[in-house]
Amino acid sequence: MNQELFTINNLWMMVATILVFIMHLGFAALEAGLTRAKNTVNILFKNTIIPALGILSYGFIGFSLMYPGEAFEGGFFGFSGFGLSLMDGWDTSAYNEGYTFYTDFIFQAMFAATAATIVSGAVAERIKLGPFIFFSLLYVGICYPIVGMWKWGGGFLQTLSTPFYDFAGSTIVHSVGGWGAIIGAYLLGPRLGKYKDNKINAIPGHNLPLATFGVFLLWFGWFGFNGGSVLSAAPGAVSLVFVTTAVAASAGAFGALFASYAKFKAYDITMVLNGILAGLVSITAGADMMAPWEAAVIGFIGGILVVFGVIFFDKVKIDDPVGAISVHLVCGIWGTLAVGIFGDLAGGAQILSQVIGIVAIGAFCVIFSFIIFYALKKTIGIRVDEQEEVEGLDINEHGMHAYPDFATKE
């Protein structure tokens, strides 16, 4: 490849890196906005420390687990050594046709922390900080890169006769986060009062402008998440991805709007916001191969699914304060299946491969999450005590309030 195209491709990958980075602010804002003011510092703390943890741990170990090169055997596991700084070749095009080694690393590192961030929302308002950070470290540093390698690192899902397909990570990123979220929320149990007296008691988010900010920033960043996953600035491919991403998000908003209005007879902003995310997660697996109308259908169905997901998980008393399981797990699965239903790869063999990928990655993540969370639960404990939960995690874990100048209700 010539120097000009190499420079352009690398530039787009770097811009995409920044866009994925800002998604972490999007998650922070969304999760803080959809929970109570008394737990806001705690959520901000988690969502600030996770990207920092993710970048460092991915550099130290994750990248080498996810892209082990020729080193792995059997396609299930590989490792090319500790520490980013051991590597070189960053300053030439020798590493890769499209971008430098350092671009590759930093783009991938921004993705990595996402898995733990998704978990963060589902376990919010009751998990202990220390155990959550510990879980995040292992989930980002070990679990995510191992299952990521199965496909993106050339592992067994890539070498199936009909390879599993997941363009930008409906399964590899979003449902990985979603599986951790469901296991965490299940083992923690619901927040106090959520399912009291056999009723589902809504616990409204304390700051809806903040939640809206979060969703717009996530959408904004998703142009880099999906667009950067083209791994070059190829005009046709990236611009198609932009259109499918935007159309699916828009259709997801309407899917959730219609479903929630039909169900609740109100214009529920939180459902529309989650509908946008549902559309985005749903298109992620096939954003590079759908016609715009297919993206609209996939996103619209995602938007409907997220509403019924939220209702369903409340029915089975898995308390997910921000709807993360419905958005990332349910729609992650849906989007991955949609690759086999729509687009260039539609067909039975592909659907089968998609199911194999979903199940294999799901099983690994469930077992991994369960072992870690269960071990933590049985030892140091994962849930704050009742008084702390009632008073709020902010004052108890952090010794501060998020909004000390304002009077609160009660």
User: Which residues 267-296 are close enough to bind a copy of itself by CB under 8 A?
Assistant: 267-270, 272-273, 276, 291-293, 296
**Is 401 a binder of a copy of itself (CB under 8 A)?**
yes
Smallest distance from a copy of itself to CB 144, Å: 17
Smallest distance from a copy of itself to CB 238, Å: 6
Which stretch in 173-181, 261-269, 332-340, 373-381 sits in contact with a copy of itself by CB under 8 A?
A: 261-269
**Is 247 a binder of a copy of itself (CB under 8 A)?**
yes
Q: Which is nearer to a copy of itself, 14 or 351 (CB)?
A: 14
Query: Which residues, in sequence order, are CB contacts of 267 under 8 Å at separation 6+?
Result: 257, 261
∠ CA 22-26-30, nearest 5°, is 170
∠ CA 332-217-66, nearest 5°, is 50
Contact residue for a copy of itself among 34, 37, 187, 372 (CB under 8 A): 37
∠ CA 201-204-207, nearest 5°, is 175
Contact residue for a copy of itself among 28, 115, 351, 358 (CB under 8 A): 28
**Is 38 a binder of a copy of itself (CB under 8 A)?**
yes
In our burial notation (b when 16+ CB lie closer than 10 A, e otherwise), range 178-211 reads bbbbbbbbbbbebbeebbeeeeeeebebbbeebb
Contact 53, 140 (CB under 8 A): yes
- Rounded CA-CA distance 21/88 in Å is 24
Binding residues for a copy of itself, how many (CB under 8 A)?
114
Q: Which is nearer to a copy of itself, 374 or 381 (CB)?
A: 381
Contact residue for a copy of itself among 193, 235, 347, 381 (CB under 8 A): 235
**Is 164 a binder of a copy of itself (CB under 8 A)?**
no
What crossing angle do the helices spanning 144-151 and 101-122 adopt, rounded to 10°?
120
Smallest distance from a copy of itself to CB 349, Å: 26
**Is 400 a binder of a copy of itself (CB under 8 A)?**
yes
Question: What are the Cα distances from residue 108, in Å, to 137, 150, 286, 390?
Answer: 16, 15, 19, 39
**Is 409 a binder of a copy of itself (CB under 8 A)?**
yes
- Rounded CA-CA distance 119/51 in Å is 13
Smallest distance from a copy of itself to CB 46, Å: 10
- Rounded CA-CA distance 330/174 in Å is 9
Task: Please list the alpha-helical segments (H only) found in 34-143.
Answer: 40-57, 63-66, 101-122, 129-138
For tokens 């969304």, what's the residue? 30
Positions in 214-233 near a copy of itself (CB under 8 A): 215-217, 219-220, 223, 227, 233
- Rounded CA-CA distance 329/362 in Å is 10
Positions in 79-118 near a copy of itself (CB under 8 A): 83-85, 90-93, 99-103, 105-106, 109
Q: Which is nearer to a copy of itself, 106 or 183 (CB)?
A: 106
The two three-digit tokens of residue 119, written as one number: 């978990």
**Is 8 a binder of a copy of itself (CB under 8 A)?**
yes
Which stretch in 44-52, 138-146, 312-320, 370-378 sits in contact with a copy of itself by CB under 8 A?
A: 44-52
Smallest distance from a copy of itself to CB 333, Å: 23
What crossing angle do the helices spanning 176-188 and 101-122 adopt, rounded to 10°?
30
Smallest distance from a copy of itself to CB 332, Å: 21
**Is 199 a binder of a copy of itself (CB under 8 A)?**
no
**Is 246 a binder of a copy of itself (CB under 8 A)?**
yes
- Rounded CA-CA distance 257/264 in Å is 10
Binding mask 294-313 toward a copy of itself (x if CB under 8 A, else -) reads --x-----------------
